[in-house]
Every structure is written in structure tokens, then in C-alpha cells.
Structure 1
């Protein structure tokens, strides 16, 4: 097969696809990964051919996440339309160069669904969170978890409405670049123009979130696509010395979230850590925390590979991104999620349901006392045991291999169906 993978966003939106690309290459398939140039080094470091996507989409994403106010975020977001339209051209350029039989894409890579139609190629949506409607749980971006039944299924219509925001750009791309007819503004992105379901691969663990029985066969949970970066990574001597100087510390990091209140958030975290009496490693990320004059029981770094750092921690505290959540659980560590937005509350609820972490502590109500209580709960023997057992089950999975097998099956099915037409 010749497989074009397209994705963009933050590191958590790209890293799993590098792992998938490596698995495809290992099976002898030709593959290229189209993603912003800011990730080119990571892609090529793992031996994956890189397909160009302009870095403007990554730079604007970072600017929105770092914006000090909601008003500034809204102002910046207005620039996304033109950049998203340009990224579709990059996807098309990559497709013309590779001539793929199969397109695998994140939902943010809006051009691939239409390129597959143009090329008459097989397509698979690939995501670290579920987008296929079900009665079992609401759409991950919906904050309530107590709807039940048909109301849960109804929330997935929000996704189609969200897609309508980009309908002008996608139809412009379809007509002017691909020479295809425009589609309805409210066309379901989970269906082909022929009306069949787009196959979907969900890169998370069924041990955390079981596959709903009402899903169609086209929607499958593969297990996580972990990209291990810890083996070639050399920790700073100061970090290694800190880890060796006492018992395993807590990890606290909020990735790319919340730069507007980085100093006050760090002060809250430091007070919470002091209340627990624990040691801690704080990750500043893009600016989620800023602190000076750290006490001796706290070490701050910008970032470190999760597969190296998390197994050395006693528990992990983070924002609840899908990648961070799965990495912490894979390490068998109890997890405290302090969500900001999007699907983060969803994963916090799933961790709570699995018994691997306490009730999530939303950022809007984050206090030192609440965070300290959550950390104490996470470090209880019962929660440690649940997290350890869950980690063992997740480590036994091989998500990339399962995904490759499903991609190969879809390629064969696609060829047989179209050979008959």
C-alpha cells in the first residue's frame, strides 16, 4: 500500500501518527506523513518521509492557546479560515506526490476526506477520541456525563454543526482545486459522498473506554499508538540527581494550556504540593506554569518524554489531553486531571470511572486545597492498585499493529468493492 497520513495541531495530535507510520513502514508499506514543518524533525528522526504542510497552522494554534484573554483568542481564531484553506492545498500537494492508495487522517486535516473522493482511494479517520455516535456516552466535547440513552447519541450532531464552520473553505477546495461538486454545509464528515460510513480507528485503550456495542463495524478501537522517545533521551544531570535524592515525586504539567495565568497557577500547585508533603517535578510546557525560587522538594523542567519520566513518578497531575492521559495510565500511575477545555473533562471522567484517579478538578475551580485533596486520594493504596492493574493491561496492547491490520483490511475491501463496479 501507499499510505498518506495527515494531521495537525499540538504535539499530542502528531506524535501518535508517527508511531502509526513506523508500524506501517515496518510492514513494508510506503508511507508519508503530512504535518506542519514544526514537527518535521520529529517525523524524520523516526525515519518517516515527511510531506510539507505550512507551519502557519501550528503557529496560530500555539498563539490561540497562549492568548491572555478569551477576546484575544477569538480575534486570533478569525485567521484560521485562510490558514485551514491553505493546509488543504498542502494535503493535496502531498497526495499528488505520493499517489496514495489509502488516506489516514485526523479530523482536523479537512482536505483528506475530499481528496480520497477525488482519487477514488480508501480513507480512514483516525483519532485518539471517539467521534462515532453512541448511546453509551456523549460526544467528548460535551461537558455533561449524565444525559443517558438517546440524548447521548443526539450530542454527536454538535460535531456536524462544528464541521459546518469550515464548509465554505472545504467547498472552495472541492470546486476550485479538486474539480468536485460542492457538498451541503451540513454534510456528515463521517460519511462518504455515496452515503457509506467512513471507517474510523480510535487510538485509545478499550481497558479505559470499552467499545460501545451499538457502534457499526466500521468503527474500531485499536489501543494507543505510543511513540517511545525515552530510549535515546538523556536526562539533565540535575533531574537525575533530584530523582535519586528521594522517593518518587509527583508529576505536574499542563502542556500547552493556560499561559494567561501561568504564575498564579504555579503558585497554587506549589502550595498544594507543600500541603501534601510530597516531592514534585513540574513541567512548564508552553507556559502552563511559571515559578521562581523553587523549594528544594520541587524540580522544574520544560518537558521530558513521558515514556521516560512517568514510570519514575508516584502519580501524575495534568490537563487531561488524550496523549497525556494514556501515557500516565500506561505507566500505571494514578492520575489527577485538571481540565481546561475540549475533551479533557471527558478523559477525567473516564479515569474516575476506571478507579485510576479522583474526581477531576477543573481549572476554573482549582485551589491548592482541592488539588492537595485530589493528590492524597490518588496516592491511596486502593487507587494505586487500580492504576497499576490498568497499566499492565494497557502495556499488553499493540495499538499500532492492530491499526495496521485494520488499514490493510480496509484497503482490500475497498479494492474488491470498486473492482466489482
Structure 2
């Protein structure tokens, strides 16, 4: 089986797919991972063949996230169309080089769905968050959790509406590059050309979000795809010394989010840490926090592998990306989510519902006093016990093995179907 995996975005959008690629390769399949060149080192460090995607996508994403005004964000977004079109060509180039039987792709990899149609190949959408409609909860990018059954299901139309933004680029790609007919601007990306559903693999744990009872069999929750890097990483001596000098600290980091207001955000966090009396490790990420003077009970670093760092923490405070959320729970740590955008409020709500953390605090209203209350709630014995129990269950899962099994099954169905058609 030849599998092309395509994804783009921040680290949390790429790292799980490296784990999946490793598992597919270990099962004897030929695999390549198409993602921006900024992640090429990570891909190849794990001995996965890399397929080129221009880094302009990643650079523009970082610039948009770092923009300090809405006007600047709008100006930057004007450049997305041409960059998206170039990314579609990169996906097509990778497909021609590998000649895959199966395409596995993140929804942000906009070309793979159309390339599968062109090649007549099997395809599977793969995501760390649910996009299949259900009455049980709204689409994760909708901030309200009080819509009710039929409105929850209706909210998933947002996926088609979001896809319409890039319909000009994707239809240009379909017609001029692939020789396919154009699609309606509001075509459902979760449907194939024959109207059947695209199989979907969701890489999160049912111990945090159980699989909805009204989902079709094509939508499966596999468990998380964790990429372990602890054995490849040596901590700085200063970090090791800090950890050994006292009780486990609280982790605070906002990943690729929020370079704007980095100084004031760090000041808020430092004030909260001082009020709690806890030790803390602060991760700057892409610049979400900046501090020039630190008290002795706080250590700041750019980043560290979550599978190494989180087990050494007492609790984790972060933006609520799916990867960070699952990594914290895997380590059995109570979680405080301070969301910026997208699906982050959704995961904050799931953390609250599971009893492994407090009510999420939106970044736009974050205060030191709120963060103090949240950290104290997270460190309370009932929440710590619940987080430890959930962590034990998540560590017992093998999400990548389940994903490989489902991909192989889909390839087998696809092969049998084509064999009948050729007979």
C-alpha cells in the first residue's frame, strides 16, 4: 500500500501525522508526508520520506497569528489565495511522485480530496477534531454549546461555507491542473464525487470526547496519535536543575498563539504565579509571552517535547490546541485552557465536562485573579485525581495502531471495488 499523507498548519497540525506515518511505515507500507518545509527536519528526523510543500503557507500563517491589528490581518489574508493555489500544486506534485493508492489528509490540505478523485484512489480525512455532523455538540469552531440537537447538526454547514472561501483556487486547480469539472462553491468536502461519505479518522480520545451515537460507520475515533520525542531530546542543564530544586511546577505556554500583547500576557501570568505561590515553567512558543526579569520560582524556555515535560509538571495551562490538550491529559495532569480562537474553546469545554480542569478563560478576558482561581481549582485533589485516572486510560490506548488498521481496511474495500469494476 502506498500512502500519501498531506497536512499543513502549526506544529499541532503536523506532529500527529508524523506519528501516523511512522506506524504505517513500520507495518511495511510505502509512505510520504507532504507538509511545509518548516517541518521537514521533524519529518526526516523520524525517517519519514518528505514531500515538498512551500513554506510560504506556514510563514503567512505565523504572520497572521502575530498581527497586532485586524487591518494587518486582513492585509495578510489577501495573499492567501495565491499561496493556497501553489500549495495545491505541491500536493499534486507529491502525488505524481509517489503514485499513492491511498491519500490521508488534514482538512487544511485542500488538494488531496480532488487528487483522490483524479487518481481514483482511496481517501480518508484525518483530523484531531470532529467535523462529521452530530446532534450531540456543535462543530468545534462554533463557540456556543447551547444550540440544541438540530442546530448542533446544522452548525456543521460551516465546513462547507469555510470551504467556499477557497473554491476559486480549488476549482482553478481542478480544471487547469487535474482536468476535472468544477464543483459548486458550496460543495460538501465531506462527500466524494459519487455522493458517498469520505471516511474520517478522528485522532482524539473517547475518554475526553465519546464518539457520538448518531455518527455513520465511516466516521471513527481512533485515539490520539502521539509522537514520542523524549528519548531524542536532552533538556538544558538549567531546566533540569530547576526541576530538581523543588516540587513539580505549573506549565504555562500558548504554543503558536498570540505574539501580539506578549509582554502584557507574560505580566498577567507572572502575577498569577506569584499569587498562587507555585513554581512555574513558562514556554514562549512563537512569542506568546515575553518577560525580561523572572523571579527564582519561574523558569522560561522556548519549547520542549510535551511527552518529556508534561509528566514533570503539577498542572498545565495552555491555549487549548488539540495536541496540547491530549498531551496534558496523557500525562495525567489537570488542565487550564485559555483559548484564543478556532476549536480551542471547544476543548476547554470538554476539559470542564470531563472534570479534569476548570471553566476555560478566554484570552481576551484573562486576568491574573481569574488564572489564580483556575490554577487552584486544577490543583484541587478531586480534579487531580480525575486527571490522573483519565491519563491512565489514555495511555492504554494505541491510536496510531487503530488508525493503521482502519486505513488498511479502507484500502482493502477500495481494491475489491476496483477489482469488480475491472472484471
Query: What TM-score comes out, normalization by structure 2 length?
Result: 0.99
Name the SS for the 2:34 alignment partner. strand
Structure-to-structure mapping, 1:52-201, within 5 angstroms: 52-201=52-201
CA deviations on 1:60-119 (whole Å, 9 max, x unpaired) are: 011111111121111101111110110000000000000000000000000000000000
CA deviations on 1:245-275 (whole Å, 9 max, x unpaired) are: 0000000000111111000000000000011
Name the SS for the 2:234 alignment partner. coil
Q: CA deviation at 1:418?
A: 2.4
CA deviations on 1:122-151 (whole Å, 9 max, x unpaired) are: 000000000000000000000000111101
Structure-to-structure mapping, 1:276-355, within 5 angstroms: 276-355=276-355
Q: CA deviation at 1:230?
A: 1.0
Name the SS for the 2:260 alignment partner. helix
Q: CA deviation at 1:216?
A: 0.5
The equivalent of 1:379 in structure 2 is 379
The equivalent of 1:271 in structure 2 is 271
CA deviations on 1:191-217 (whole Å, 9 max, x unpaired) are: 001000000000000110000010000
The equivalent of 2:23 in structure 1 is 23
Unaligned runs of 5+ in 1: none
CA deviations on 1:212-233 (whole Å, 9 max, x unpaired) are: 0100000000000000111110
In structure 2, what is the Cα distance between the partners aligned to 1:379 and 1:66?
A: 32
Q: Does 1:36 align with 2:32?
A: no
In structure 2, what is the Cα distance between the partners aligned to 1:100 and 1:258?
A: 38
The equivalent of 2:419 in structure 1 is 419
In structure 2, what is the Cα distance between the partners aligned to 1:361 and 1:153?
A: 26
Q: CA deviation at 1:419?
A: 2.2
CA deviations on 1:324-354 (whole Å, 9 max, x unpaired) are: 0000000000000000000000000000000
In structure 1, what is the Cα distance between the partners aligned to 2:80 and 2:394?
A: 36
Give the count of matched residue pairs. 421
In structure 2, what is the Cα distance between the partners aligned to 1:401 and 1:70?
A: 43
The equivalent of 2:231 in structure 1 is 231
In structure 1, what is the Cα distance between the partners aligned to 2:192 and 2:67?
A: 37
Structure-to-structure mapping, 1:394-409, within 5 angstroms: 394-409=394-409
The equivalent of 2:361 in structure 1 is 361
In structure 2, what is the Cα distance between the partners aligned to 1:38 and 1:299?
A: 27
Name the SS for the 1:226 alignment partner. coil
In structure 2, what is the Cα distance between the partners aligned to 1:14 and 1:136?
A: 28
Name the SS for the 1:281 alignment partner. strand
In structure 1, what is the Cα distance between the partners aligned to 2:111 and 2:332?
A: 38
Name the SS for the 1:188 alignment partner. coil
The equivalent of 1:388 in structure 2 is 388
Q: In angstroms, what is the RMSD of aligned CA positions? A: 0.5
CA deviations on 1:293-329 (whole Å, 9 max, x unpaired) are: 1000000000000000000000000000000000000
In structure 2, what is the Cα distance between the partners aligned to 1:81 and 1:378?
A: 43
In structure 2, what is the Cα distance between the partners aligned to 1:204 and 1:78?
A: 33
Name the SS for the 1:260 alignment partner. coil
In structure 1, what is the Cα distance between the partners aligned to 2:371 and 2:75?
A: 33
In structure 2, what is the Cα distance between the partners aligned to 1:215 and 1:166?
A: 27
The equivalent of 2:211 in structure 1 is 211
